[in-house]
Structure 1
Amino acid sequence: MKYILASASPRRKELLEQAGFRFQVIPSSVEEKITKDAPSEIVMELASQKARDVYEHYGDADCVVIGADTIVAYNGEILGKPATQSEAYDMLAMLADRTHQVYTGVSLIMAKGGQVHTRTFFEATDVTFYPISKEDLRSYAETGDSLDKAGAYGIQGPFAIHVKCIRGDYNNVVGLPVSRLYQELLREYVSPLSLP
């Protein structure tokens, strides 16, 4: 069985490696189209588009393609990747001393013995920040670490010192709920960790 991660995210790659998966990385090049409104539906839609794109171009009779997408939402507003340090500062200032949600959608396209199954799901995690001073916000925004991250921060990096608590799957905030992914695979296949 061949496993393909349809994402260029180094964080997702690292999470799968830490979990013991053997896989190859083939990022999707699909032009993402959002037709949904709810954050949970958006991440599932985008994850599905990525998985389908890679499966159609690189899939075979025995493979699993893993597509994923993560977004941050606060009060119904979706916070993508900031375009500038100023935008990153504004996002983080809005999230300081408040609770927001991180949604990751995962789409699995599983081909085995001529049959193809698709399973798409999402996980949501609540993240609460401490109050953060303007100086700390500015200092972090100026590092540029925010610019490739939804919501303008990475929970696994230097901004972790401002995280008061999380409710839900930590890895989901990093970018991939690997434990849920593993359980979904077990419903269809033997453990991917026991394959030769």
Structure 2
Amino acid sequence: MGFAAKKTEKKYSYADYLEWEDNQRWEIIKGDVYDMSPSPLRKHQFISIELSWQIKNFLKANKRPCEAYHAPFDIRFPESVKNDEEIIDVVQPDIVVICDYSKLDRRGCHGAPDFIIEILSPYTAHKDHNIKRDLYEKNKVKEYWIIDPSNKIVTVYILDEKNRYEKPMIHSKQGKLKVAALEGLEIDFDDIFSASVFE
């Protein structure tokens, strides 16, 4: 999902973003534009589908008032800024869960999702671990996971009572991993990381 930190010199807004061609994917962070091509690798897409399936099944089975989406799905920050020309942070995380329906509109989500997952590619590691981590913390995303398909590692950030991310928890084993932002949800990585796509 993108060339490493490939951005332009000019600053852009969500209003500019809406004028761009639909067949290209971009993100804007602090007004900087990031190209999200080429398309993700097979492992990336396999993980995305499997996680989306587990999360959606949990929400439906437990009648949780939340909605889950996978990329491309626009998240605009911050919620307090209403003017498209003034919104300079627009991202498309791999998976998001939103439990506050007031943040959802026809264009996506305006404000912080409760839970965000980014799946690393060689092109996005720096952005996901640093630039997006800071953006999500600033906008109070309750829980942020970064999944490294190559090394089968999950990095977990959880917002503390001071609205700062605690020291990340690094999970390198298969099995089930609890989602703090969605009580009762456990993501089972056994079937994911043992699949033939990882051989």
Normalised to the residue count of structure 1, the TM-score between the two structures is 0.32
Which of the two has greater helix per residue? 1
Question: Between Structure 1 and Structure 2, whose CA radius of gyration is higher?
Answer: 1
